[in-house]
Structure 1
Amino acid sequence: MPKPSAPVPGPVPHPPTVVQPRRRREGSGRTASLPVSNETSAGGIAIRIEDGIAYAACIGRRNRAGRLEWCLPKGHIEEGETPEIAAVREVAEETGIDAEIIQPLGVIDYWFTGDDRRVHKVVHHYLLEAKGGYITTENDPDHEAEVARWIQVATLASELAFPNERKMAVAAARLLAIES
């Protein structure tokens, strides 16, 4: 197998993308009475180049309906970690790929409601270069990732389940000068 060449990002036209969903009015409905918690996570898009084609390491998780959804690897920032350290660790744990950060990609900021609380979540995403490892979910301590695979960056946005992650894929393709 030929040795993959390093990704070469294009010029950065503007600061990293910040995606914020529309806000619902506070005080309306059942969610207003639930306690609020804040969570911060990090992850990203680890890239490898093979035969001139850029691929991203992605994970498949089951949604509540049991359908497999493709997502970017990410997870909680642990005590004493920076978002960058957490992103590298989470990519390695969930995909088996050892990677180094090339540059920040963007921040996703959203809310969701669990059974017992409302959660405000902030996720820091990075563009990373794959340096080694093998694509696998065997090292995922949470066992959230059912499967991992390489997806072409050119089609990544159409394969990801969540709109905010699709925006990160488009930003990565733009930085790598790939048409998506």
Structure 2
Amino acid sequence: MTENNRPHHTKRSGDDTSRRRRHRRGRGEGSGKNTHDSHKTNRKAPNRNTRQSEQSANPSSPTPNAVAGGKREKPNNAQSATNRTKNRRRRTSEPAQTATNKRTKGRRKAAAKTQRTGTHRKNYRRSTYPSTQMETRIETSAGGLVISGLAESVQPDGNVDLSRIYVALIGRLDRRGRLLWSMPKGHVENGEDIAVTAEREVWEETGIHGEVFAELGVIDYWFVSDGTRIHKTVHHHLLRYVDGALNDEDPEVTEVSWIPASALIEHFAYADERKLARIAHTLLPDLARKELAEGRGTPR
């Protein structure tokens, strides 16, 4: 075969091949997977020779791919039209959240937060706090002061010597071991008259029989016992001594004693009973004169 009859093969030069490769690389960087969209948007990747010539003309501007330390970073090209369309469709397909949806979402987050590990102890401590609503019970008691020596306390000039009038008090030990003095009193039984309760409780706690002849006053207070709020009302009376001797057989009573009426106020441990003692100081002189006028002496 002659040289003229040999098949003619066009030999591509190295410059032409490298130019086509660079053209493909530049075209692929801007288009992503779909190259047709890049032709539609008329985007053309810049040539390496063009970038080098621009940098040589302006040496102060850094190259797009140059970073500190000489490392190469990925090109920050704009999104293609296809990606922008997908993102736009994705955004428009999501329904708008209403105020109700936002509140529901917030409740779900709060519920999930309380169910996380480590929060069960906090919730347990919060749930062990006692309830503010407590059972309430109403109680009524009655008692008073047993008085001895009323008629004998009246002086010839008509004045009354309170130091010659004696009243029976009971003493109880508190948690600190202190002896606290108070009036004898107790709970009113069902269907029982208040005056009868006062006479019975005085006899049970002091061993003395007394007879109610005047009212002293009523006090009320609140306290808590075994998780129950109790509103207690106590009716106090003045009792005339009839007979009996002091004893402390009641297990709740530590000591029983006759106290001069002149020292009554400072003996009481509670403020409400000290108030009643001041009332007694104003009542006793007239009651003593009345007892003397009626010839009621103290039994011996």
**1:101: which partner in 2?**
212
| 1:174 correspondence with 2:282 | yes
**1:47: which partner in 2?**
147
* Gap runs ≥5 in structure 1: 1-29
| 1:64 correspondence with 2:175 | yes
Indicate the structure (1 or 2) with the bigger Cα radius of gyration: 2
Say which SS state the counterpart of residue 150 (structure 1) adopts: strand
Say which SS state the counterpart of residue 168 (structure 1) adopts: helix
Cα gap change, 1:31 to 1:147, in 2 (>3 Å): farther
Cα gap change, 1:66 to 1:102, in 2 (>3 Å): same
1:42 and 1:173 mapped to 2: Cα distance? 20
Equivalent residues, number: 147
**1:80: which partner in 2?**
191
**1:123: which partner in 2?**
234
Tell me the TM-score normalised to structure 1 length. Answer: 0.76
Amino acid at match of 1:119: I
**1:12: which partner in 2?**
none
Q: Deviations over 1:21-60 (max 9, x none)?
A: xxxxxxxxx6842211111000001100186311110000
Q: Is the 8 A contact 1:48 1:130 kept in 2?
A: yes
1:128 and 1:54 mapped to 2: Cα distance? 13
**2:252: which partner in 1?**
144
| 1:33 correspondence with 2:144 | no
**1:4: which partner in 2?**
none
> Which protein is richer in helix relative to its size?
2
2:167 and 2:247 mapped to 1: Cα distance? 13
RMSD, aligned CA: 1.9
Amino acid at match of 2:185: K
Tell me the TM-score normalised to structure 2 length. Answer: 0.47
- The CA deviation at 1:113 is 1.6
2:274 and 2:258 mapped to 1: Cα distance? 16
Cα gap change, 1:125 to 1:32, in 2 (>3 Å): farther
- The CA deviation at 1:67 is 1.3
1:32 and 1:91 mapped to 2: Cα distance? 37
Q: Is the 8 A contact 1:101 1:126 kept in 2?
A: yes
Sequence identity of aligned pairs in percent?
A: 45
- The CA deviation at 1:148 is 0.3
Say which SS state the counterpart of residue 172 (structure 1) adopts: helix
- The CA deviation at 1:166 is 1.0
Q: Deviations over 1:124-159 (max 9, x none)?
A: 000111111001122x3xx21111000111111110
Amino acid at match of 1:56: V
1:78 and 1:71 mapped to 2: Cα distance? 21
Q: Which runs of 4+ in 1 moved over 3 A?
A: none
| 1:159 correspondence with 2:284 | no
Say which SS state the counterpart of residue 138 (structure 2) adopts: strand
Say which SS state the counterpart of residue 144 (structure 1) adopts: coil
1:126 and 1:118 mapped to 2: Cα distance? 26
Q: Deviations over 1:87-124 (max 9, x none)?
A: 00001110111000111111011111223111100000
2:265 and 2:190 mapped to 1: Cα distance? 32
- The CA deviation at 1:174 is 1.0
Say which SS state the counterpart of residue 81 (structure 1) adopts: coil
Amino acid at match of 2:228: R
2:147 and 2:279 mapped to 1: Cα distance? 13
Higher RCO structure, 1 or 2 (CA under 8 Å, sep 6+): 1
Say which SS state the counterpart of residue 269 (structure 2) adopts: coil
